[in-house]
Amino acid sequence: MTLYPKLITDALSKVKYPGNGKNLVEANMVEDDIRIEGMKVSFSLIFERETDPFIKSVVKSAEAAIKTYVGKEVQIEGNIAVKTRQQPKPKVDTMANVKHIIAVSSGKGGVGKSTVASNLAVALAKLGKKVGLLDADIFGPSAPKMFGIEDQQPLAEEIDGTQYIQPIEKFGVKILSIGFFVDPGKALLWRGAMATSAIRQLTGEAAWGDLDYFIIDMPPGTSDIHLTLIQQLKIDGAVIVSTPQEVALADARKGIEMFTNDKVNIPILGLVENMAWFTPAELPDNKYFIFGKEGCKKLAEEMNVPLLAQIPLVQSICESGDAGTPAALKPDTITGQAYMQLAGKVLMN
């Protein structure tokens, strides 16, 4: 009589595992290590845990099935090894040591939300805080440009046998952005599921370490990404950015309502009025309200939320962002002072 593996697996398919009613082959309990030496047969059975109460009875049933369906002369007794299915290691909670999470959001694009988020992160770092910045604006990542780190790419760090993304650190801020991983010269054509998956990786699979503040530069408007971040992270508060224009204020109002919705219930820390007025560098005392005057102040009063800051529009803020040196690095400037004041107002205990 010639033995071959299929005879053995056919016999084992007659044995049911009491825990789920499936046969051993169907339940993937027979390891692919069947060895045949003449009439001697050996192989391994895989169980979910070492304390499985059915181990002895299943081994005995497997021996009996082979004797019955293959042949009484088969030497199988004592040749069935028992293994435990390898359990995946529990993932490290990479956000466990983050004290406060602040979302910086806007109802529409083009109001300077990313500039505010980046400068707020830098200003908090200048106040001696440990800060992380997540550029969650998947389709318009700007943090690499604003921090002058476009040519850098995050490395992997091993924690408890698992690889985690190591954020890039600049100006005392730990930074991650999808912009590090995509071609900046090409449009990002991703479906919503792909974008939300990327966000989960940048939060849950990154070595953020100990942080006092984790700033999220949210995408403009409302989207799947907002819901993903709201569900995944315990956000302590939101900062809403807008210009004084009526069209921007209308969208800012929607942003406030999104966070204060009963199902979301995230506190609004306040409004930031960006491009509040234009001030020429050579005439620092002059203010030109080219986008309207105090629109955010009126909205803040209407919605009963604080007005955290009014950031003027000056040529240097655009130049500093393009040069990779956020305005908050220069606290002696008009914009630098505004961002330091903003940071002071969002500090939490």
Please report, for the chain, the start and end positions of each structural domain, with discontinuous segments joined by +. Answer: 5-84, 98-346
**Closest Cα to residue 272, out of 304, 247, 297?**
297
pLDDT at 345 over 90: yes
pTM summary value: 0.71
Would you identify the CATH topology of the domain 98-346? Rossmann fold (3.40.50)
Strand partners, 105: 240
Average pLDDT of the chain is: 86
Per-residue pLDDT tens digits for 254-301: 888 888 888 888 999 999 999 888 887 777 778 888 888 888 888 888
Start-to-end CA distance of the chain, whole Å, equals 79
Homologous superfamily (CATH) for 5-84? Fe-S cluster assembly (FSCA) (3.30.300.130)
Per-residue pLDDT tens digits for 57-67: 999 999 999 99
pLDDT at 189 over 60: no
Which residue bears the tokens 């106040």?
127
Rounded CA gap, 344 and 245, in Å? 26
Structure tokens at 111: 């109001």
Model pLDDT, residue 223: 66
Residues 6+ apart with CB under 8 A from 266: 103, 230, 235, 236, 237, 238, 259, 260
Per-residue pLDDT tens digits for 120-141: 999 999 999 999 999 988 777 8
Is 103 in a helix, a strand, or coil? strand
Q: Over pLDDT 90: what percentage of the chain?
A: 44
| Local confidence band at 230 (pLDDT 50, 70, 90 cut-offs) | confident
Per-residue pLDDT tens digits for 79-135: 999 998 866 666 677 888 999 999 999 877 888 899 999 999 999 999 999 999 999
| Local confidence band at 184 (pLDDT 50, 70, 90 cut-offs) | low
If residue 252 lies in a helix (H) or strand (E), which one and from where to where? helix 246-260
